[in-house]
């Protein structure tokens, strides 16, 4: 019901150190996908809100096997789906552009969330209502796109730049991050 009646912008953490952060109710993950941490778990060891990383693997809880998970169609592809409550941890690697970057675990945790739901499926009247509920969450977002702020200090092989910003110096910062002209897409 949550996935069908709201989007990730409608789900926010309502408690703890991540209060007010967006929560993605559905992470579409594959090994090698870019991720971003959304919590300050161990700042001194580089595990802070905004840390970029790459997914290396999904490890299920002891006793849960692949046959215990669901298969479903997502965006036209048949995929294996697991609930966060079935996950022991995700193995992630810092995105430092080197295969020797440090790996770390991200474990799901129960969070109090405020969810803005469309209620038109109940009575036909379009409106939103906020419901507080506990959800098992992985403190990550898929990072297929990023901001100019997150690009500062990084070098990237390819970059697609849309002309959506009204900031004066933003294009200069973003253009300086790509390594070659062949990797620049406007």
Tell me which residue of 4, 27, 22 sits closest to 12, measured CA to CA: 22
Q: Considering the entire predicted model, what is its pTM?
A: 0.72
Q: Are residues 89 and 151 both part of a single domain?
A: no
Contact yes or no for 55/101 (Cβ under 8 A): no
Residues 55, 75, single domain; the answer is yes
- Domain end residue (candidates: 112, 128, 144): 144
What does the pLDDT read at residue 1?
A: 47
Contact, 104 vs 132, CB < 8 A? no
In tens digits, the chain (186 residues) has pLDDT values of 444 444 455 555 555 555 556 666 678 888 999 998 888 888 888 888 888 899 999 999 999 988 888 898 888 889 888 888 899 999 999 987 666 789 999 999 887 877 777 666 556 667 777 778 777 888 888 888 777 777 777 777 888 877 666 667 777 777 888 888 898 887
| pLDDT at residue 26 in the model | 75
Q: Given this model, what pLDDT does residue 91 score?
A: 96
Q: Which of 91, 109, 96 minimizes the C-alpha distance to 31?
A: 91
| Whether residues 70 and 132 fall in one domain | yes
Pairing of strands 52-60, 159-160: unpaired
Q: Are residues 162 and 111 in the same domain?
A: no
Query: Which pLDDT score, from 0 to 100, does residue 56 have?
Result: 96
């Amino acid at each position: 019901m949550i996935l069908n009646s709201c989007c990730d912008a409608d789900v926010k953490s309502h408690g703890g150190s991540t209060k007010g952060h967006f929560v993605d109710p559905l992470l579409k993950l594959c090994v090698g996908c870019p991720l971003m941490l959304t919590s300050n778990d161990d700042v001194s060891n580089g595990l802070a809100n905004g840390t970029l990383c790459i997914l290396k693997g999904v490890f299920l809880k002891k006793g849960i096997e692949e046959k215990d998970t669901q298969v479903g169609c997502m965006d036209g592809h048949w995929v294996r789906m697991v609930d966060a409550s079935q996950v022991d941890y995700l193995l992630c690697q810092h995105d430092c552009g080197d295969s020797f970057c440090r790996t770390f675990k991200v474990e799901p945790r129960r969070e109090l969330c405020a969810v803005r739901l469309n209620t038109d499926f109940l009575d036909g009247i379009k409106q939103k209502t906020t419901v507080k509920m506990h959800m098992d969450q992985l403190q990550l977002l898929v990072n297929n796109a990023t901001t100019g702020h997150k690009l500062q200090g990084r070098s990237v092989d390819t970059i697609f730049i849309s002309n959506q910003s009204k900031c004066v110096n933003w294009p200069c910062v973003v253009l300086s991050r790509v390594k070659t002209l062949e990797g620049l897409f406007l």
